[in-house]
Amino acid sequence: MNFPRYLKERFFRPRNARILSEAAARLPERVAAAPTYLQVEATNRCNLRCVMCPIEDLTRARRKKRLSVEEFAHILNEFPYIESLHLQGIGEPLTNPHIAELVACAKTRGIGTGVITNGTVLDREAGEALIRAGLSNAIVSLDSADADNYQAIRKGADFQEVTDNIRKFVLLRQDLDSPTPSIGIMMVAMNNNVHELREMVRLANDLGVDFLTVKGLNPAVAPGLELNPSQQQANETLGLLADPALRPGFQVQLAYLERSPVVRCRWPWTRAYVTAEGDVTPCCNCPDARQVSFGNLFDRPMREIWNNEAYRAFRRELRDGMPDVCRHCPDWHQPM
Ligand code: SF4
Ligand code: SF4
């Protein structure tokens, strides 16, 4: 028996989880436990230029960076109790040539991994490497069921190629007889595509994926594209889930309709976001280290960052008011 590991799993991990859950309820400035969820940018570059994406603004001043396996392992060493993570941020994770090795690196530590990809480079080789590495879930962003509208939104992508990639990826998982990853499609609901919601449900169902999830847009990063309340209301009456033609088990998650007026964001208390350069920022909705950075993991350990003055001040502000960067955040009232 590996005794230190036994102690960690038997005593320290449950203790960490208990303290974290208390922190999520009480929202203290100082959190005496480590995050259990992490989002790490595999790269800060992307091969597309989607209309709702601030990637140009966010990366112009940043040097091009892809995480190496060694850097990723270093980051994981700083977070002893991570249970799941997304290799995800600003940038297309599958353009990091080491992406499957990063997944495998997390998997050997018992950490579940997910990616959200634009699907453009999800060919057979990339798909097989990810499945064999043990990827837990894969979500392909597909914001329209109409080729012209899709290509107007996802500039640089080819609708036929991406939908073919999705269909083949689902079949590949079956060919390899692998239960993982779960495969889904994510639609960012905006005023230029929300009328296609019903078609999106049918397309996702036809492509064979496990689920379609529909997310809201952060209006701060793409003003003018957000939904208005009447558009949201109209969608609630669509009766999408009652469509008898859907495959059994196929799920539709309308996350953008499920806002609670009482549950606040808990990111800075329970989760962390790390950029490809190693900066720790509050969350995936604030990935710009120039706006908020609590410290850099390649300069100092997480134990010196997690409760430093900047982190504590941000928690205080989020608990008692509204930091500027959170003002238009779609996750402000989402259950975490
Ligand atoms: S694929 Fe993602 S990261 Fe790339 S431009 Fe589109 S939204 Fe931004
Ligand atoms: S409210 Fe939104 S922007 Fe603010 S910390 Fe939470 S997830 Fe991030």
Task: Give the tens place of pLDDT for each residue, 100-139.
Answer: 999 999 999 999 999 999 999 999 999 999 999 999 999 9
Question: How many CA atoms within 13 Å lie on the side-chain side of 2?
Answer: 4
What's the whole-number mean pLDDT along residues 287-302? Answer: 95
Q: Ligand 2 centroid to 97 CA: how many Å?
A: 30
Name the residue of 86, 269, 286, 319 whose CB sits within 8 Å of the most ligand 2 atoms, as the mutation to test its pocket: 286
Closest protein CA for atom 6 of ligand 1: 50
CA of 49 to the centre of ligand 1 (A): 6
How far is CA 103 from each of CA 88, 174, 301, rounded to the nearest angstrom?
A: 12, 20, 22
Verify whether ligand 1 is closer than 6 Å to residue 55 (CB atom): yes
Q: Tell me, what's the pLDDT at 254?
A: 80
Check residue 336 and give its pLDDT: 38
pLDDT band at 244 (very low <50, low <70, confident <90, very high): low
Distances (CA, A) of 36 to 105, 178, 268: 17, 26, 12
- Cα separation, 64 vs 184, whole angstroms: 29
Distance 93 CA to ligand 2 centre (A): 22
Given this model, what pLDDT does residue 198 score?
85
- pLDDT tens digits, 253-275: 887 666 555 467 899 999 999 99
Give me the mean pLDDT over the 241-255 stretch: 80
pLDDT(305) > 70: yes
pLDDT score recorded for residue 287: 87
What's the pTM? 0.92
Whether the per-residue pLDDT at 240 is higher than 90: the answer is no
CB-ligand 1 contact for 92 (6 Å cutoff):
yes
Residue 91 Cα to ligand 1 midpoint, Å, equals: 6
Ligand 1 atom having least distance to the Cα of 90: 3
Is the pLDDT at 93 greater than 80? The verdict is yes
Supply the pLDDT for residue 241.
Answer: 58
Residue given tokens 């003055």 in the structure block: 309
Interval 269-289 mean pLDDT: 94
Q: Who contacts 52 (Cβ-Cβ below 8 Å, separation ≥6)? A: 153, 188, 190, 217, 221, 222, 225
Tell me how far CA of residue 200 lies from CA of 71, 185, 225, in angstroms: 38, 9, 18
DSSP state, 113? E
Using the mean position of ligand 1's atoms as its centre, give its distance from the Cα of residue 160 in Å.
18
Q: Are 48 and 161 in contact (CB under 8 A)?
A: no
Report which bound ligand comes closest to the CA of 273: 2
Q: In b/e form, how buried is each residue of 296-317, taking b as 16+ CB within 10 angstroms?
A: ebeeeebeebbbeeebbebbee
Distance 265 CA to ligand 2 centre (A): 6
**Averaged confidence pLDDT in the chain:** 90
Whose atoms come closest to the Cα of 286: which ligand? 2
- Residue 25 token pair: 């309820």
Assess whether the previous peptide bond of 14 is cis (omega < 30° from 0): no
The ligand 2 site (C-beta within 6 Å) comprises 265, 267-268, 282-283, 285-286, 318, 325-326, 329, 331-332
Angle between helices 159-175 and 197-207 (to 10 degrees): 40
3-state SS, residue 323: coil
In sequence order, which residues have a C-beta less than 8 Å from that of residue 195 and are 6 or more positions away?
none
List the one residue out of 122, 117, 164 whose CA is nearest residue 138.
117
Q: What is d(CA 129, CA 110) in angstroms, rounded to the nearest whole number?
A: 18
